[in-house]
Chains A and B, each alone.
Chain A
Amino acid sequence: MFYREAGQFKTTYAADQALLPIRQDRYAMLFILAIAFVGVPLFAGDYWLTAILIPFLVFSLAALGLNILTGYAGQLSLGSAAFMAVGAVAAYNFQLRIPGMPILLSFVLGGITAALVGMVFGLPSLRIKGFYLAVATLAAQFFIPWLVTKVGWFSNYSASGVISAQPIEILGFPFDTPTRKYLLVLGIVALLALLAKNMVRSAIGRAWMAVRDMDVAAEVIGIRILHTKLIAFAVSSFYCGVAGALYAFAYLGNVEPDGFNLDLSFRILFMVIIGGVGSILGSFLGAAFITLTPIFLEVALTELNAAFNLNLDPGVTSMAQLIVFGGLIIFFLIIEPHGLARLWQIAKEKLRLWPFPY
């Protein structure tokens, strides 16, 4: 009833190609942005901002990066966390070694460094496919943190190898409170998401999808495969790199190379798969799901334990969390292998007909 596009006519090609062709979607998007930019900072507490929303946004960005590579260009990668590490360490070093460096430029340069490294590790993708490629990207996952730990220069010879990120300041304005950090991260993520959305609708995005669907066929119709795949690796790593820089500067405040481990890469891949392969919205939904579910489970179990006086051992609740989380992932994949984004589509279809489904 509420979600119906009847009566909305498109009279120009431009209107037909708009980012959000349906009016309700446009309003919804404006509404969400308004809430994110105005409502949340006004009402959310520190806990929500620092412990949930900032990591959610950072992970969304990383998932977006991986989704470009895996979802659009069809190249499976298990090295996203390593590229995040490159972004974080590079941003730290740009900030440290070039006096008066604007922090945003450091983030961008961190992303570009990650993109270059990503291209190097993307080179084998021309020959290697599928799981062979996935396992091969693990080389990046293990090599990069090792390199960062071994070469003291990267961490400015800090005894423990842990870097503490510089404070964020733009044009003399310090981003030090949770609210300010949140707004900064939100701004960057919104901008990059918009960019990604447009990129996947452009020629390069279509080339990626052609390569994903069948690379031999794509080659036959004149798409330069190496070129296309390398751009996908570069763009994806750029997003991961920026996400890594934000993770270090706006979220944790320090960089421990061991923090960017295989677990994190898997989490990001989960976000993409659960959210929806080949969907920008899916990256956000997936990040929300993977960030929130464990916290939700833990709080729920603690509450249940207290409410019914179950007297469960903390060890038992920790295990139960792990089991439920694993089970949920399997459950989701079985019910909807195309991810949350697809569920949202179905929901929209239903809303369109509601309340008269026939």
Chain B
Amino acid sequence: MKKWKTTLIALLGLAGGLAMMLPVAAQQAGTQFMGILGYRVGPYGANGAAFFTGMIDYLSLVNERDGGINGVKLSWEECETEYNNAKGVECYERLKARTTTGPTAIHPMSTGITYGLIDKAPVDKIPLITLGYGRTDATDGRVFPWVFPILSNYWDAATGIVKFIGDKEGGADKLKGKKIVLLYHDSAYGKEPHPVLEAEAAKLGFELKLIPVPHPGNEQQSQWLQIRQYRPDWVILWGWGVMNATALSTAQKVGYPREKMVGNWWAGSEIDTEAAGPASEGYYAASLNLAGKDFQVVKDVEKFVYAKGKGGDPKLIGTVLWNRGLAAAMFTVEAVRAAQGKYGKKPVNGEQVRWGIENLNIEQKRLDQLGFGTMVPQLKITCADHGGSGLVRFQQWEGGKWKAVSDWMSGDRALIRKMVEESAAKYATEKGITPGCMKG
């Protein structure tokens, strides 16, 4: 025992000395370095693993198939955030210092970490891409020049779901007098859709009931009994992690039809439905991207990455979140390509990438070229609109896989825009920001 202790003291001294050399790793020069704030452990580890594996698989594809972006190879490093805000900030600071060009663009994949980085991004000149999460009012790029909630934000999801329900009922006017429950994760994330849903309820005349589920949501007996008593026409599920599976299985338990439940896109992956088993059958979810393997890009990943043994996890291929990871990486790569078009074919830095994202215009033709086809909608970002599409598409869980049941559609864009601008203006006055577009 005594000997152990001496060894331990010596070891600690040594570790302390080594720790002084943090952070060490240097990246290969001449590559476009991507910093990835990932998470693969903890309650949301499964979601993170699917998304980040997809992202990295796409980066590998670009290297293996195209030899990089215009000849500039990609390199990347993933830092484990554990979905924890403080660790996210540490990872961000570490990856930021890696190369002279910075980490390209950060996808925090966590609303909490996004909030932690929003004030840092402009100072460090690193763009944040928040694909379907984060701060909704950041869609106004004149107030948030460094934040890009591309594709769609939470309010697009909420109004899109209302529109979808309206369509199912046979028109938005039929919603009058209907009862809709929002079953939400009791956190910042779950509260995000409240204002816009309340506005919609007032406008369309449906009755809205908000029912919170305390974290982590692995037991929802009382919530579902309340729902059973209230007898709503529809239930909107706004959950994350185990809460989704539990909601589906508890719905079955109290006999609420799954065909009357619509989730948002964080409640619409295989992770949620498979865990609940047959209880998920018939459940709808809004999505930013389609699931499935019938896309050229997925086949390319299988051929150029997995066949060479460089892929992540073959079981994840074609799942909703894995495909979303592909799309997220694709948008970043295209932004780099756009930036290269302006600044030259060499590794570009955060400021240049920011310009690239803000001037991103991916039309259907380009999506077809990239092999994405209809997996994601077209996207055009401008300074005033950092969202781009605002489109959602609905999928239904049927026989063990997701099936698209609607076309790309959008909710009440005018209402959202008005609310986004109001909220962004409030933020601008609080922080003393003069709204405006950035040059160059």
Contacts and interface: CB of A to CB of B under 8 A. Distances in A.
Nearest to B111: A160
A252 B315 CA distance: 37
Contact of A52 (B90, B188, B191, B195): B90
A302 B41 CA distance: 16
Nearest to A340: B12
A164 B119 CA distance: 9
Given A52-B90, A318-B41, A149 B186 contact: yes
B409 interface: no
Contacts of B4: 335
Given A256-B112, A318-B41, A160 B135 contact: yes
Interface stretch (B72-80, B265-273, B345-353): B72-80
B9 A299 contact: no
Contacts of B313: 313, 315
B93 interface: yes
A244 B425 CA distance: 29
A290 to B, nearest CB: 12
A306 to B, nearest CB: 7
B23 interface: yes
Interface stretch (A43-51, A126-134, A188-196, A230-238): A43-51
A252 B93 contact: no
A317 B39 CA distance: 11
* Majority SS at the chain A contact face: helix
B418 interface: no
A261 B282 CA distance: 35
B256 to A, nearest CB: 26
- Chain A interface size, as a band, is 35 or more
A335 B8 contact: yes
Interface string B8-23: 1100100100110011
Contacts of B188: 149, 160-162, 256, 258
Contacts of A322: 41
B93 A46 contact: yes
Nearest to A347: B9
A151 interface: no
A253 B97 contact: no
Contacts of B178: none
Interface string A331-358: 0000110001001001100100000000
B325 interface: no
B371 interface: no
B74 to A, nearest CB: 16
B144 interface: no
A253 B93 contact: no
A24 B187 CA distance: 52
Interface string B122-161: 0000000000000100000000000000000000000000
B129 to A, nearest CB: 19
A299 B430 CA distance: 38
Interface in A306-331: 306, 313-315, 317-319, 321-322
B116 A252 contact: yes
Contacts of A292: 19
Contacts of B119: 164, 253-254
Contacts of B186: 146, 149
A47 B87 CA distance: 13
B432 to A, nearest CB: 9
Contact of A335 (B5, B25, B120): B5
Nearest to B135: A160
B97 A343 contact: no
Contacts of A47: 23, 93-94, 96-97
B41 A252 contact: no
B52 interface: yes
Contacts of B77: 302
Given A51-B94, A313-B312, A343-B12, A258 B25 contact: no
A314 B40 contact: yes
A55 B86 contact: yes
A91 to B, nearest CB: 17
Interface in A281-298: 292, 294-296, 298
B85 interface: yes
B84 A263 contact: yes
A299 B214 contact: no
A252 B89 contact: yes
A159 interface: yes
Given A47-B94, A335-B4, A335-B5, A253 B116 contact: yes
Given A343-B5, A343-B12, A50 B93 contact: yes
A2 B189 CA distance: 58
Nearest to B95: A47
Contact of A321 (B12, B23, B80, B423): B80
A160 B215 contact: no
B385 interface: no
Nearest to A301: B80
Contact of A159 (B12, B18, B49, B423): B423
B115 interface: yes
A102 interface: no
B23 A296 contact: no
A259 interface: yes
Contacts of A317: 80
Given A47-B96, A51-B94, A299 B23 contact: yes
A45 B40 contact: no
Nearest to B20: A48
Interface in A164-183: 164
A302 B80 CA distance: 11
30 contacts: A47-B23, A51-B89, A51-B94, A55-B86, A55-B90, A146-B186, A149-B186, A160-B135, A160-B188, A160-B192, A164-B119, A251-B89, A254-B119, A256-B85, A256-B116, A256-B188, A258-B112, A258-B188, A259-B86, A292-B19, A295-B94, A296-B19, A303-B24, A313-B312, A318-B39, A335-B1, A335-B5, A336-B8, A346-B5, A350-B6
Interface of B: 1, 4-6, 8-9, 12, 15, 18-19, 22-25, 38-41, 45, 49, 52-53, 56, 77-80, 84-87, 89-90, 93-94, 96-97, 111-112, 115-116, 119-120, 135, 186-189, 191-192, 194-195, 214-215, 312-313, 423, 430-431
Interface of A: 45-48, 50-52, 55, 146, 149, 159-162, 164, 251-254, 256, 258-259, 263, 292, 294-296, 298-299, 302-303, 306, 313-315, 317-319, 321-322, 335-336, 340, 343, 346-347, 350
8 pairs of A and B residues whose beta carbons are closest in the complex:
A51-B93, A160-B188, A51-B90, A318-B40, A315-B40, A318-B80, A314-B78, A47-B97
